Structure 1
Amino acid sequence: MRQSPFPPIAEYAFLSDCEASCLIAPSGQVEWMCLPRHDSPSVFAAMLDRGAGSFQVAPYGVREPTSRRYLPGSLILETTWQAPTGWMIVRDALVMGPWHHLEKRAARYRRPPSDYEAGHCLLRTIRCVNGSVDLSVLCEPVFDYGRRRTDWQYVGAGYREATTASPGDGPAPVLRLTTDRNIGLEGPSAVIRTRLVEGDQAFVALSWATLPPPRTWDEAAQQQWYTTEYWRQWITVGEFHDHPWREELQRSALTLKGLTYAPTGALMAAATTSLPESPGGTRNWDYRYAWIRDSTFALWGLYTLGLDREANDFFSFIREVAAQDELQLMYGIGGERDLPEHTLDELEGYDGARPVRVGNSAALQRQHDMWGAMLDSVYLHVKSRDQLPEALWPILRRQVEQAATHWREPDNGIWEVRGAPQHFTSSKLMCWVAMDRGARLARLHDQPEQAEHWQRIANEIREDILTNGVDERGVFVQRYGATTLDASLLLVPLFRFLPADDPRVRATVLAIADDLTYNGLVLRYRVEDTDDGLPGTEGSFTICSFWLVSALVEIGEVERAKALCERVLSYASPLGLYAEEIDPISGRHLGNFPQAFTHLALINALMHVIRAEESGGGVRFAPAHPL
């Protein structure tokens, strides 16, 4: 069997400062990092091509660490290494801190998380804790997705600071490497070789902004301390139950926070592009954008955990983009509408999976679920405040009317199929959500005639779905005129389309649980039964398994839901993260990583089960929707 040079997707660690992010392999090598934003061109892309740039800190000649973990309540990675002659510990962080108060550390560090800002610095601290260790550092950026290699230059009089920059035009930042050890420069590579003995400490910092990077160990320790304090203060704001799943909820919340873009409040779907949905396959997409669809699931999860600030920031982003003339199903994290898709044919792709894509042409698709997601987001936000801001009314009215105009038309559906448009049942469902939530909001806004009009259309859509979207078994089907199952129909009870005790709801949930699973994990649909316009296969979509947990709770199957929840949780990465998919045979993670949608569904599923247990197993107690 061929030994792949690429680590399994699940073995990567994820770091973020809420503006940029990176993925670190078990080897201590940063293999994915885009600067200055999450969605900028990469400076390290060894994850997609072994020659496309990396940044390694490890003992010389040692390939695998002894252990890796996140410091509790943080996005700081701690890696323990055993070398032949000793032990060392490396801590990696994308720095956060109250930089305008650095000189008053002792008196002023306990500041609200809102007063912290990204340090634009990847900080790597090293301590030798036993014996001696030969430290090896190799920093070799290759700008613009591996296409632009450039040399380092020393800065100042010594050999402890160097800079490099992309040779071409564009927004690529100047990179600055600072350390308390001497740097050797070998063209495009910055190298450090030094021996540490017990008690020795060292740091390496890669920065890309005007904020001063650390130049001494004390400054490095101070910045890492600020970062730890930021994350631990932030996590204490949330409302996490005293439950065995508390750690999973906190890790998902931290991951979601890391997937946000602080300047706008956007939540991107994942930190990566083109990680394949099947080994060596072609279903490789760029997920570094914000989907309107994610909005309602994000607000469910964030409000449920008491993370109101993040929910409000994301809602503000959704409101801003929705104020434009026509709603688009996804946007750049800065609100950009134009996301042209192209391939990077010079990159080999993760473990040979090609093509590597940048941009996402699905942004131009017609997906009718986006109006329902938008309106449901508004409704969730308004319910949390018991008021509808006047400025929102024309925005939501325009979206409701769009749903009213287009609900009878075929579309590409929630899964963004690239085949012919179809009359997908879940798309009709979300158009019903748009009309239903619009009517509720109109009543709140003292617009009874408008509410009555929209409610009539909602009732018309409901009757159409019940007539054409349910087969003779009483099961909701993927598309009109078919008998194909689709995991998106698990949303029927979660969006309160029908009561959870309706026989059609129960039949649908159990049919998916019994017939659309493989080795206990839920498929989004069976590829052989769906013309999605793409070759190849895919794994189970983890979000669908968590949806099934929530839906099972809704129909009163709490023990079955808990068992499934435990099963899906057992597939988490060693650091508690999830990619988009899981191979139900091998347990291998597939697709982009870490994936926000999966962690959002995890939060809602776990809270369904927790609240079911607290209420004694009754139905309609869980936070699926505050109707």
Structure 2
Amino acid sequence: MQTTPDGGHPPLDSYALLADRRTAALVSREGSLDWLCLPRFDSEAVFAALLGTHGNGHWSLAPVDGEVVWRQYLRDTFVLVTRWRTPGGEAVVTEFMPDTEDRVDVVRQVECVRGEVTVRHELVMRFRYGLSKPWVRRLTSHGEEMLTAVSGPNGLVLHGPLLHPDGDRHVGDFSLTAGQRLSWSLTCMRSWERPLAAVDVPAALAATVGAWRGWAEGIRSTAHTEPIRRSLLVLRALTHRDTGGIVAAATTSLPEAFGGVRNWDYRYVWVRDSAMTIEAMIAHGVADRTWRDWLLRAIAGDYDDLQVLYGIGGERIEGERTLGHLAGYASSRPVRIGNGATVQYQADVVGEAMLALERLREAGVEEDSFSWSLQRTLLRRAAERLGEKDHGIWEMRGRRRYFTHGRAMLWAAFDCGVRAVERHGLEGDATRWRAIRDGLRAEIEHHGVDGRRGVFLQAYDSDEADASLLALPHTGLVAADDPRMLATVRRIEDELVDEHGLVRRYRTDSAVDGLDGPESPFLICGFWLVSQYACTGRTAEADALFHRLVGYGGELGLLAEEYDPVTARLAGNYPQAFSHLGMILADAALREAGVRCTASWPPPAAVPGPAAPDLLPGRGPGGARSA
């Protein structure tokens, strides 16, 4: 495993995402598959080296003595192509997770394109987040010999040229000459069932490329740059194909500060994050009613207890626990499974949900009696809890407060209700909702604004600044050029923007969140500032900050939650829906202000040599027929 100067794990931007919209794998630039949960995003990991060591599970595949020449995705897909150079030749490795209806596979294919290369495997399969060693044996099924691993109900089968045991791992060296190709596929199985036959790699590759590109063709407008298309594809990759639930990230416990304790499990569906994702997808013409139907199912039978987050199928999350056997990414502990925020009250959630449902309605997705009944119930419950303090958008683990952002989102929720009745003719108590809405505005202007300085405050009983205040114009409560917003931006620039131009959420040393230790600047906060700049005529600053933030995505265009400018590394869970949707919305603000994004991935210096080929199934780089 390549290590960073501090002895930790590879930088996050060195990891590529492979996805089939049920789960995801992370593969390092050195060819080590270090993270994979099966069969879902939130299942137990079978490769957990990302949060521990190679002994906790990984699958390394790389040419011996090889170096990476370039690495990119095939256009508008998550099919990864890496060109390697060795002293004796060159090879192209193609890796993907097939788009299928009833199985989960990871395919890794190697083709020698010049001279001779030897490809080396090291496979360590460990179930239960690296804790359980499986029973591994060779079987013959479907007319082929294969390697199987079982542990309790869980199983894996490796198809392709056989590896041999070497202690607690399986290894193998395979030599290829120009034009020769070998493929391996790892398939999830139930331990008591007959192993599935190997996937037809050429057919699976063609179908997978077609599925990703077929969806991407629906992205509205040809003016969007590659980073925006890639961000939309990331959001698509994090949307479970069967349930429609949108996970916040593909990982757990990647630290907000290296060596720190702010390590959380993001493999669940946050109502807020997924609602904002739907808004971004609607704006680009690629949204449907799937997420609305997921929300309806998630809270069906318990309307009065809307949760902050749910499982992928709408399950309620049962608390939070730690995994003591894992050392953590970059020695950052604890490693957490589950998320304690599920028991929190966050007042902004209903506002985000109502805004997203309104956008769907305006995009032509018709309401039915069930969906509008849900929204009326959400407003009824929000009215009943109007006097309650909450934990805020940042999921503070300190005491509850009246957070200004949360109160503004409540205002937005009732504002959506009023518009639904007055503009769309839906049934509801618009008179009562209007009174609550107007009362919230008066309350915010009285308690959420510092009268002396004319700035919005983090909370009614707090004098702190907070980057979530940059999102207030999005609610419709206040215009971006309102003097109070402009004063708030100046204060955020003074107190929360660091010397690198990046934005922290709030001052962690204020002890407002009830946690120890620092955190890195949040990327979505930077994109919110871009939007604010663009909407108030500061277009040059907006464009410059946007390009800087986009650049942190590296050669593959994937963003984590934060960026640590001191170590020049992404931090936090990865890839992160919140960061990518922030980029999409910031790009929209720039385009509305007349500034077209010209940022692109990969940065020119990141890809030596020729650009990655747009491979067609059955053909090699440069159009050469594959063996």
TM-score (norm 1): 0.89
Deviations 1:423-479 (A, max 9, x none): 211111111111111222233564677101101110001100000111121111101
Judged with a 3 Å threshold, the aligned counterparts in structure 2 of structure 1 residues 351 and 67 are, in CA distance, closer, same or farther, namely: same
Separation of aligned partners in 1, 2:355 and 2:313: 22
Judged with a 3 Å threshold, the aligned counterparts in structure 2 of structure 1 residues 178 and 319 are, in CA distance, closer, same or farther, namely: same
% same residue: 37
| Residue 32 in structure 1 maps to residue 13 in structure 2 | no
Separation of aligned partners in 2, 1:123 and 1:373: 38
Counterpart in the other structure of 1:100: none
Q: Where do residues 341-380 of structure 1 align in structure 2 (5 Å cutoff)?
A: 341-380=320-359
Give 1:345 shift: 0.6
SS of alignment partner, residue 95 of structure 1: coil
Counterpart in the other structure of 1:267: 246
| Residue 82 in structure 1 maps to residue 85 in structure 2 | yes
Q: Where do residues 409-448 of structure 1 align in structure 2 (5 Å cutoff)?
A: 409-444=388-423, 446=425
CA contact under 8 A between 1:70 and 1:575: conserved in structure 2?
A: yes
Counterpart in the other structure of 1:191: 171
Counterpart in the other structure of 1:162: 147
Separation of aligned partners in 1, 2:578 and 2:173: 42
Separation of aligned partners in 1, 2:298 and 2:375: 12
**1:156 partner letter:** T
Q: Which deviates more, 383-392 or 600-609?
A: 383-392
Give 1:202 shift: 0.4
Deviations 1:265-300 (A, max 9, x none): 010000000000001111000000000111331122
Q: Where do residues 12-161 of structure 1 align in structure 2 (5 Å cutoff)?
A: 12-50=15-53, 51-62=55-66, 64-97=67-100, 117=101, 119-156=103-140, 160-161=145-146
Separation of aligned partners in 1, 2:119 and 2:406: 55
Judged with a 3 Å threshold, the aligned counterparts in structure 2 of structure 1 residues 366 and 207 are, in CA distance, closer, same or farther, namely: same
Question: Please, what is the CA RMSD of the aligned residues?
Answer: 2.0
- Which of 521, 526, 542 is the equivalent residue of 2:523? 542
Deviations 1:26-85 (A, max 9, x none): 1101100000111100000000111210011111344x5222111121101111111221
SS of alignment partner, residue 522 of structure 1: coil
CA contact under 8 A between 1:424 and 1:479: conserved in structure 2?
A: yes
Judged with a 3 Å threshold, the aligned counterparts in structure 2 of structure 1 residues 38 and 387 are, in CA distance, closer, same or farther, namely: closer
Q: Which deviates more, 440-449 or 395-404?
A: 440-449
Counterpart in the other structure of 1:8: 11
Give 1:195 shift: 0.9
CA contact under 8 A between 2:148 and 2:158: conserved in structure 1?
A: yes
SS of alignment partner, residue 402 of structure 2: coil
CA contact under 8 A between 1:541 and 1:582: conserved in structure 2?
A: yes
CA contact under 8 A between 2:543 and 2:595: conserved in structure 1?
A: no
SS of alignment partner, residue 19 of structure 1: coil
Deviations 1:369-426 (A, max 9, x none): 1111121122111111274322223211111122212233211110001111112111
Separation of aligned partners in 2, 1:118 and 1:271: 21
Matched residue count: 583
- Which of 321, 328, 347 is the equivalent residue of 2:298? 321
CA contact under 8 A between 1:404 and 1:431: conserved in structure 2?
A: no
Separation of aligned partners in 2, 1:404 and 1:554: 32
Separation of aligned partners in 1, 2:365 and 2:205: 41
Separation of aligned partners in 2, 1:239 and 1:182: 46
**2:147 partner letter:** A
Q: Which deviates more, 19-28 or 431-440?
A: 431-440
Give 1:503 shift: 1.4
CA contact under 8 A between 1:295 and 1:373: conserved in structure 2?
A: no
SS of alignment partner, residue 594 of structure 1: coil
SS of alignment partner, residue 555 of structure 2: coil
Where do 5+ consecutive residues of structure 1 fail to align?
98-116, 616-627
Where do 5+ consecutive residues of structure 2 fail to align?
597-627
CA contact under 8 A between 2:401 and 2:461: conserved in structure 1?
A: no
**2:299 partner letter:** A
Deviations 1:229-252 (A, max 9, x none): 221222112114325xx1001111
Counterpart in the other structure of 1:112: none
Separation of aligned partners in 2, 1:300 and 1:557: 25
Separation of aligned partners in 2, 1:507 and 1:213: 64
**1:498 partner letter:** V
TM-score (norm 2): 0.89
Give 1:190 shift: 3.0
- Which of 230, 234, 238 is the equivalent residue of 2:211? 230
Separation of aligned partners in 1, 2:283 and 2:574: 24
Judged with a 3 Å threshold, the aligned counterparts in structure 2 of structure 1 residues 262 and 448 are, in CA distance, closer, same or farther, namely: closer
**2:529 partner letter:** L
Counterpart in the other structure of 1:532: 513
SS of alignment partner, residue 363 of structure 1: helix
Counterpart in the other structure of 2:287: 308
Separation of aligned partners in 2, 1:414 and 1:437: 20
**2:43 partner letter:** S
Judged with a 3 Å threshold, the aligned counterparts in structure 2 of structure 1 residues 386 and 197 are, in CA distance, closer, same or farther, namely: closer
Judged with a 3 Å threshold, the aligned counterparts in structure 2 of structure 1 residues 212 and 11 are, in CA distance, closer, same or farther, namely: same
SS of alignment partner, residue 378 of structure 1: helix
**1:52 partner letter:** N
SS of alignment partner, residue 328 of structure 1: coil
